[in-house]
Amino acid sequence: MLKPTKISRSIFDLERKEEEYLKLSKLTEQADLWNDPQKAQSLMRKVSLLRNEIDSWKNFSSRIHEAKELVELQDESLRPELEIEVANLEKEISKREFDLLLSGEYDSGNALLSIHAGTGGTDSQDWAEMLQRMYLRYCEKHKFSTEILDFSPGEEAGIKSVTIAVNGDYAYGYLKSEKGVHRLVRLSPFDANHRRHTSFALVEVLPEVSEDDPTIQINPDELRIDIFRSSGAGGQNVQKNATAVRLTHLPTGIVVTCQNERSQMQNRENAMRVLRARLLEIRREQQEKQLAELKGEYIKAEWGNQIRSYVLHPYQMVKDHRTNYEEGNAQSVLDGEIDLFIESYLKQQRLPAD
């Protein structure tokens, strides 16, 4: 028999989601829906996500009820078939229990992932590029689409920074665990004496905020917009026209640049995407700080608070310092196999059962 689990609460909590689905579906029937394509696409995505979730839970619930009815028949000839189905349902329950960890307000949406090389010169810039490759591989394996919004190449190798839009269901919910400082220990390929170096890179993960999100409103009068030529590797890659965009949000001092597109308008739209996400992050940090003042502690992810170490010499080990989860195959991790790190972090963050 299936073990009792609090996942049953979600199986029967479909009425609220169905009501929300019907409400949003009616909005998709409005004649002026596509007057605002971005808003329409956001709405259609929400409707599709809800429909898939509702159908999935209904199918799962039906399978459980059918298995229960067959067990109650006490027909021994059905035992082999039932044992297989019960085992499959147990696996499905484990997966769905994990999925329930992704219940935050923005968890189901897209993410903006930025990587910044730390102190350490060329080694840190090379390390930032290694992290970029790791996350692009991870996204590829999970069928997330990616788009580089801004890119600043390193002076000799690697990158100084990169901002990547990650699009897909629950992209932010999974990737939010990667926020923080990542530390690399290895024999430096850029050191003539081949000595061991320690490099750092900062990873930022923000939820993408839609233009119609009421929590973030940007007054155009509070923006300074600068246009300049994109920096590149030279040759044919150098932009002859000024298409790169720098936005400065005057009230907060936040500066966002986007220069990866050849269109000034596209770079401006991408810069606004990043600015909205950064403003949301500030708002959430302020709320967390206020809450922490009541609870007694507030630690911001910043330099000195590395979340994970990647050691390639004198031994191979990747260790997450928040969960103590370790992986000995460092190369597989750098190839994008970070699921178990993400899973262990999300499980640790899970609130006590209510």
Q: 172-228 pLDDT, tens per residue?
A: 999 999 999 999 999 999 988 888 999 999 999 999 988 777 778 899 999 999 998
CA distances to 67, 78, 79 from 73, rounded to whole Å, are: 10, 9, 11
The confidence band for 8, taking pLDDT boundaries of 50, 70 and 90, is low
Distance, CA of 256 to CA of 282 (rounded, Å)? 14
Identify whether 282 is part of a domain: yes
- Give the H or E element holding residue 346: helix 339-349
238: left (phi over 0), alpha (psi -120 to 50) or beta: beta
Interval 247-298: pLDDT, tens: 999 999 999 999 877 788 999 999 999 999 999 999 888 887 776 666 565 4
Contacts 24+ apart (CB under 8 A), 96-105: 96/7, 96/10, 96/60, 97/5, 97/7, 98/343, 98/346, 98/347, 99/170, 100/7, 100/10, 101/173, 101/346, 101/347, 101/349, 101/350, 102/170, 102/173, 102/174, 102/346, 104/173, 104/176
Identify whether 2 is part of a domain: no
Domain edge (last residue) among 99, 126, 150: 99
* pLDDT for residue 98: 75
State mean pLDDT over 90-98: 81
Instruction: Verify that 151 and 18 share a domain, yes or no.
Output: no
* pLDDT for residue 105: 83
The confidence band for 74, taking pLDDT boundaries of 50, 70 and 90, is confident
Identify whether 303 is part of a domain: no
Identify whether 230 is part of a domain: yes
CATH assignment at residue 194 = 3.30.70.1660
Instruction: Verify that 131 and 263 share a domain, yes or no.
Output: no
User: Whole domain around residue 13: which residue ranges?
Assistant: 8-99
Identify whether 300 is part of a domain: no
Instruction: Verify that 271 and 333 share a domain, yes or no.
Output: no
State mean pLDDT over 98-127: 89
> How many domains are there within the chain?
3
* pLDDT for residue 204: 94
* pLDDT for residue 241: 67
Residue 57 neighbours by CB distance under 10 Å: 18
Tokens (6 digits) for 18: 């169905």
* pLDDT for residue 228: 87
pTM, two decimals, is: 0.76
Instruction: Verify that 185 and 241 share a domain, yes or no.
Output: no
